[in-house]
Structure 1
Amino acid sequence: MEIRQLNYFIAVAEERHFGRAAKRLHMAQPPLSQQIRQLEEQLGVRLLDRTTRRVDLTAAGEVLLERGRRIINEIEGLKADVYQVGQGATGVLRVGFSGSATYGVMPGIVRRAKEAMPGLSLTLHGEMLTPAMEAGLREHTLDAALLRPPVAFPEIEYRTVAREPLVLALPAGSPLGGDRPVAVHELQEHGFVVYPPESVLHRTVADLCRRSGFQPRIAQVTGETSTLLSFVAAGGGVAVVPASVRAFQLEDVVYCEIEDAPEIELAVAWRREDRSVLLHNFLDLVLADRPAP
């Protein structure tokens, strides 16, 4: 049985008339009648009772009409699904992102993806450091990542999506708090709450302090931005964080600007050889509003 024969039979069964069915199918009546006879011969049963005025269904024809409609609907749905996947309009992407991106670009990316790609399902992995996201991409456990460049492996490609200055997170009541920017050398006697040594932000803060003539005194190390800020709130030290983290308002934490603060980048990264249409549609969406080079 061919799909076109099933469509022919359904048209005749619904119209109860070969002439009307042929008109509906945009074909002549004789070849339509021939196709139905061939279908009956293939199945070995009579599907239609034909009279000069109308066509009625046999019991076998009733069964074929009911199940045939379901089959055709399934096929049409399958065609639509395959087309959507082929066009990169539906599917699942696994995306890793840094903790600070939680308070910056990620909410906007998720919102735009939901609006522009309703068939896309994002599996999100947050509070990841750049080395862990690089490993996830290389091991195919992540499809894309929002990380802090640079990256160490040539098979990973990336593009900058945001640049932001670093700011200082302080315990409420700190004498450094106020309207004026804080110079880095003023932090020499303070303990620092920092990300792990393998993170880009850890290296950035260490370089910033060295350029001001001192080594930072590490009071606490944590890989999660929310935990880092909790230590600051408890008076465990100060922290240098991307400006977007200010969106995370925690009692007993205040933010202030850093004098001559450097900017830090956030980039979207993916495997260079990945040709997934779905992935590249997502990348186009993420990069649509990226800053000028």
Structure 2
Amino acid sequence: MDFHGLTCFVVLAETLHFKRASERCHMSPSAFSRTIKRLEEELGMPLLIRDTREVKLTAEGRSFLARARQILSVWEEARSELGLAASGVVGTVRIFASVTACYSILAKILPLFRGRYPSVHIHVETGGPSESLPAVLEERVDVGVIARPDVLPDVVTFYPVTTTPLVFIRPEMDCAVSRLLEGGEIDWGRVPLILPEGEPARERIEAWFRKEGIRPTVYGEASGNEAILAMVSLGCGVGLVPALVLEKSPLKHGVRVVETAPHLPPYEVGFAVRKRRAHLPVVRAFLECVEEARGETG
């Protein structure tokens, strides 16, 4: 058994897709499959159930996944603490970010970090904003870009980067949705809404509706801000997104800010990290760059 095989298994367990997992590990599908098969043979048990439609973890696979992550985490800590590069920092920093956060938040930090620590490997995992904090808590990544929730888990430290308002957006084109917003006071109970899943923005808009005694009409839900922007631009409803996302989005010309919408508390955007990982040299070096970049832009 080697660390490479463990890494391949963890990636496969996260994707449950051989082709995507092999691509993430920069291997051919056949070589990747042999690596997983060899790991199962060494353990003497099947870790996966394979058929033509899907890949699933066996009970043994689910149990071994937690142990594999633990072993890899200890290995990364040892590499980070004992490595001697010219900069004094080596290893891998694992980051979770939405696609929007990659070009609005990471774009300010990665050039600084890369220039200062060229020996460090940077791994970025992308997904919906609501997936970032769970990835940090499960230690699948070292740091994750998040909008700070109203209640932060005790095991997590938050490093702020910027603050951005939450804005309501409507379709730019003339359609049934945009006509609902014309004229006088908006009847928010009739407006079809496109809301984010599992994010602070969802909690804040629902709190406002409860306070106003309004029963909202939820037309759709989306796990990412770009999906909300796309649905709104197509005339599906009114959405709620951070202004920072709207400013950077290629879809911004298809929507318009609803100026008469309710005012909600802004987002504080930054990085979440588990406290027990923040002391690792490679993670600490990254967070120092986060704070430095914030100082330059603040």
Equivalent-residue separation in structure 2 for 1:176 and 1:115 (angstroms): 51
**Alignment match, 1:168:** 168
**Alignment match, 1:239:** 239
**CA offset at residue 212 of structure 1?**
3.8
> Pick from 242, 252, 255: which aligns with 2:254?
252
Conservation of the 8 A alpha-carbon contact between 1:134 and 1:156? no
Q: Give yes or no for the alignment of 1:277 onto 2:298.
A: no
Q: Give yes or no for the alignment of 1:118 onto 2:118.
A: yes
**CA offset at residue 86 of structure 1?**
7.7
**Alignment match, 1:148:** 147
Conservation of the 8 A alpha-carbon contact between 2:143 and 2:273? yes
Q: Which blocks of at least 5 consecutive residues in structure 2 are unaligned? A: 1-81
Letter in 2 for 1:105: I
**CA offset at residue 123 of structure 1?**
1.4
**CA offset at residue 99 of structure 1?**
5.3
Equivalent-residue separation in structure 1 for 2:114 and 2:180 (angstroms): 42
**CA offset at residue 83 of structure 1?**
2.0
**Alignment match, 1:29:** none
Equivalent-residue separation in structure 1 for 2:102 and 2:187 (angstroms): 29
**Alignment match, 1:265:** 268
**Alignment match, 1:91:** 91
Classify the secondary structure of the residue corresponding to 1:146. strand
Conservation of the 8 A alpha-carbon contact between 2:108 and 2:293? no
Conservation of the 8 A alpha-carbon contact between 1:94 and 1:122? yes
**Alignment match, 2:191:** 190
Conservation of the 8 A alpha-carbon contact between 1:127 and 1:225? no
Equivalent-residue separation in structure 2 for 1:256 and 1:136 (angstroms): 33
Conservation of the 8 A alpha-carbon contact between 1:177 and 1:255? no
**CA offset at residue 135 of structure 1?**
2.8
The number of residues matched between the two structures is 206
**CA offset at residue 229 of structure 1?**
1.4
Equivalent-residue separation in structure 1 for 2:210 and 2:219 (angstroms): 17
Equivalent-residue separation in structure 1 for 2:180 and 2:92 (angstroms): 46
- The alpha-carbon distance between structure 1 residues 261 and 203, as it changes in their structure 2 partners (threshold 3 A), is closer
Letter in 2 for 1:248: S
Q: Which blocks of at least 5 consecutive residues in structure 1 are unaligned? A: 1-80
Conservation of the 8 A alpha-carbon contact between 1:103 and 1:248? no
Letter in 2 for 1:252: G
- The alpha-carbon distance between structure 1 residues 177 and 145, as it changes in their structure 2 partners (threshold 3 A), is same
Kindly provide the CA deviation profile for residues 150-171 of structure 1, in whole angstroms up to 9, marking residues without a partner as x: 3553112212221111112211
Classify the secondary structure of the residue corresponding to 1:105. helix
Equivalent-residue separation in structure 2 for 1:202 and 1:169 (angstroms): 15
Equivalent-residue separation in structure 1 for 2:122 and 2:228 (angstroms): 26
